[in-house]
Structure 1
């Protein structure tokens, strides 16, 4: 659990530095940006290792049938991740699609995982995304106007389905079949 917590810290703190201490980050130049990127990468690695090695400590029992809700919400989360890149109809209407995708992803996983490590990982990243949105919202936003419209949505949907298949295969490879009635 220590590695998981350390990974979360190495993910959250560098992400917050940009918003909480922009002058500090800017003063570091490119070497500082590289160090921040390495800290974030190290955080991701530690979160994975820490989550995979954490002892299973049950906190709550997921409700029956939540696997279907999880699978549906994961489609929504992956679609939200692609909104900025494909610039579909949501692009000019939504300020934080990737962060909202992270919130949906975290909530979906909390529906099917009731152990302490899952609460720390998914709950921590979901709260980080909400906090990040609050920090970003302190600055004014001008909605973009150069979207692709329905073409972007079609591209995003195709990419979402491909990525969903890849994510499902990785989960299966890790021993967590996503289309069965029971999870983790």
Structure 2
């Protein structure tokens, strides 16, 4: 039952996010009300993912060697850095078309490496698939891409600091509600 709830949660996350890309005319016709529907659907998806993950009986597919914990943490740090790159529009954002989705993919791959259960594959593999499909759909819809203007160098340093702080804070919260992520 938990795996089914988990699949529904991933679907409720993915479908609203992809709706704008798959049926843009329909999404545009919904106007501002559409944003609320999307937000509620995504929030419901997150709730179902948490409930489904917790309810699912672990079916072990592999056991990660300890070294993967460090690779996981590095990929999560890179993911948070790419999120900061996106928000701050650093010079790296001039080279990476989708820094936020790239960061999300790094986070998902990191978790796939260390969570060797069926529900881990459903959750993190499903979210990774969503991010990959999102990039493909965005690139098909908008083939031309204009990089942001050059940014001051301090933004690069700020992105590193934001990534380090986020990694520490999220890691601490992760350890509080789930497994300790730092080995």
Q: Output the TM-score relative to the length of structure 1.
A: 0.93
How do residues 41-80 of structure 1 correspond to structure 2 at under 5 angstroms? 41-80=43-82
What are the within-5 Å matches in structure 2 for residues 1-184 of structure 1?
1-138=3-140, 139-180=142-183
Q: CA deviation at 1:148?
A: 2.0
Of 93-102 and 114-123, the range deviating more from structure 2: 93-102
Q: Per residue, is there more helix in 1 or in 2?
A: 2
Deviates more, 1:35-44 or 1:114-123: 35-44
In the TM superposition, residue 169 of structure 1 has moved relative to its aligned partner by: 0.6
Distance in 1, Cα, partners of 2:114 & 2:16: 29
Root mean square deviation of aligned Cα: 1.3
Residues 149 and 140 (structure 1 numbering): CA distance in 2 closer, same or farther, change over 3 Å?
farther
| Residue ranges of structure 1 left out of the alignment (5+ in a row) | none
**Which deviates further from its counterpart, 28-37 or 5-14?**
28-37
Decide whether the 8 Å contact of 2:97 with 2:145 is kept in 1: no
Return the alpha-carbon distance in structure 1 between the equivalents of residues 76 and 16 of structure 2: 26
Q: Which runs of 5+ in 2 are unaligned?
A: none
Rounded to whole Å, the distance in 1 between the matches of 2:103 and 2:69 is 18
* CA 54–147 in structure 1, closer or farther in 2 if over 3 Å, else same: farther
CA contact (8 A) 2:56 2:119 kept: yes
What CA distance in whole angstroms lies between the structure 1 residues aligned with 2:152 and 2:128?
28
- Name the CA distance, whole Å, in 2 between partners of 1:145 and 1:30: 27
Q: CA deviation at 1:151?
A: 1.3
Moved segments of 4+, more than 3 Å: none
**What is the distance in 2 between the residues matched to 1:109 and 1:44?**
16
Contact 1:87 1:149 in 2 (8 A): no
